């Protein structure tokens, strides 16, 4: 902190102390599925401070993510370090280190990252490279999830996301690709092998939000969901294929989000390795799966998003209902400087 302030006091180059505070709280009650019945309640505080150089083109930031379960005093808290370099050169952007997932262009879909994984892993640990234009983007992520130790297996995932809009921004096409690698621990026991998990989702969609509709926003997306998994000890590739359709509609402060999958079991190795290999929602083991989210933005502005939601999960064997209340409060040095103005800053998104 002293070093950063000393650098900011120097007049050698244009520089600025930058900071942000990201607070969140979640109550998630899950019922109807005996394998997944639980209640998750926690708060999260993620402050950052850093130095920005050359009109924000280069910055170095550090902080911590403190996750605290509710109802257990100070016990069972988790601290995750945040420390990264950020480059913002217009179209090209990059971050290196331990950085917030909120820097991604879109939230990871649930077939890649389950709600529970999203709660527990707030940071990318590696690098993020983005090329962003008004018509679309390409995004590359390397996330080193686990370091190899005597008790922990090496694990990382590589992600490539892209999207391109055409037809005046109404139509678009893109893809989501993720590769998970689960290796051995040091001095691994007999029978422990190396495992691979590929998931690929090419899609096309329509964004009708700017059209003259009764709704404030309407987005429809459909594509294939193609998986490839193997346990190298078995020398066999599993190759599930299915269809994934997604719809999101919002009117004023109300919204509905529907995700429907039909095809083969996308996680054939989940029973062996669980979320260490397959980090998506376990419901994608079903041949058909529907998730319907009904949500309401009770408070929604440039600082706060307070949301209540009902999440319905339906497979051949399961009907589950999750009740979720979540809040995100965010402020940084830019928003603070504009706090007394009539600035039309974009509303923050709820990351839970």
* pLDDT of residue 343 exceeding 80: no
Residue 352 lies in a domain: no
pLDDT of res. 121: 92
How much is the pLDDT for 235?
80
- Of residues 200 and 337, the one with the higher pLDDT is 200
- Give percent above pLDDT 90 in the chain: 79
- Residue 347: inside a domain: no
Ranges of beta strands (E only) in 150-193 are: 155-166, 171-182
Assigned domain for 205 exists: yes
Mean per-residue pLDDT of the chain? 92
Mean pLDDT (whole number) for 319-325: 96
Res 8 pLDDT > 90: no
Q: Considering the domain boundaries, does residue 343 fall inside one?
A: no
Would the pLDDT of 9 be above 80? no
> Is residue 350 included in any domain, yes or no?
no
pLDDT at 206: 95
CA-derived radius of gyration, the chain: 21
- Kind and range of the H or E run holding 119: helix 115-120
Residue 348 placed within a domain: no
pTM of structure:
0.90
Q: What is the pLDDT of residue 84?
A: 98
Considering only CA atoms, which of 56, 60, 62 is closest in space to residue 15? 56
Confidence of residue 2 (pLDDT cuts 50, 70, 90): low
Domain count, the chain: 1
Where are the alpha helices (H) located in 236-297, listed in sequence order? Answer: 270-273
Residue 268 Rama label (left phi>0; alpha psi -120 to 50; beta): alpha
The three-point CA angle 228-128-330 to 5° equals: 115
Q: Is 217 among the domain residues? A: yes
CATH number, position 298: 2.40.160.10
In a domain, 346, yes or no: no
Pairwise CA distance, residues 125 & 83, whole Å: 10
Q: How does pLDDT run across 208-251, given as a tens digit for each residue?
A: 987 767 888 999 999 999 999 999 888 889 999 999 999 999 99
**pLDDT of res. 6:** 57
Range of the domain at 88: 2-337
Tell me the mean pLDDT in the region 8-19: 71
Let me know how long the chain is. Answer: 352
């Amino acid at each position: 902190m002293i070093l950063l302030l000393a650098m900011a006091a120097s007049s050698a180059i244009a520089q600025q102390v930058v900071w942000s505070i990201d607070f969140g709280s979640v109550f998630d009650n899950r019922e109807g599925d005996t394998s997944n019945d639980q209640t998750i309640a926690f708060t999260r505080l993620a402050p950052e401070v850093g130095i920005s150089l050359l009109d924000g083109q280069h910055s170095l930031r550090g902080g911590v993510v403190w996750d605290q379960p509710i109802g257990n005093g100070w016990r069972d808290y988790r601290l995750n370090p945040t420390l990264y370099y950020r480059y913002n050169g217009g179209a090209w952007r990059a971050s290196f280190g331990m950085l917030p997932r909120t820097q991604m262009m879109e939230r990871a879909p649930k077939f890649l990252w389950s709600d529970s994984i999203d709660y527990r892993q707030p940071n990318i640990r590696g690098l993020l490279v983005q090329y962003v234009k008004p018509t679309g983007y390409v995004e590359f992520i390397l996330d080193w999830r686990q370091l190899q130790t005597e008790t922990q297996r090496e694990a990382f995932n590589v992600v490539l996301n892209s999207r391109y809009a055409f037809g005046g921004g109404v139509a678009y096409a893109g893809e989501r690709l993720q590769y998970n690698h689960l290796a051995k621990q040091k001095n691994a026991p007999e029978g422990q092998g190396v495992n691979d998990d590929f998931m690929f989702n090419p899609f096309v969609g329509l964004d009708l939000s700017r059209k003259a509709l009764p709704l404030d926003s309407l987005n429809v997306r459909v594509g294939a969901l193609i998986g490839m998994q193997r346990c190298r000890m078995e020398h066999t590739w599993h190759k599930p294929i299915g269809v994934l359709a997604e719809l999101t509609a919002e009117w004023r402060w109300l919204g509905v989000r529907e995700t429907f999958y039909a095809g083969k079991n996308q996680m054939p190795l989940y029973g062996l390795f669980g979320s260490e290999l397959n980090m998506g929602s376990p419901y994608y083991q079903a041949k058909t799966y529907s998730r319907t989210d009904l949500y309401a933005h009770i408070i929604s502005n440039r600082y706060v998003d307070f949301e209540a939601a009902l999440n319905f999960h339906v497979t051949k064997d399961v009907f589950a209902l999750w009740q979720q209340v979540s809040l995100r409060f965010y402020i940084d040095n830019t928003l603070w400087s504009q706090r007394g103005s009539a600035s039309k800053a974009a509303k923050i998104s709820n990351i839970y």
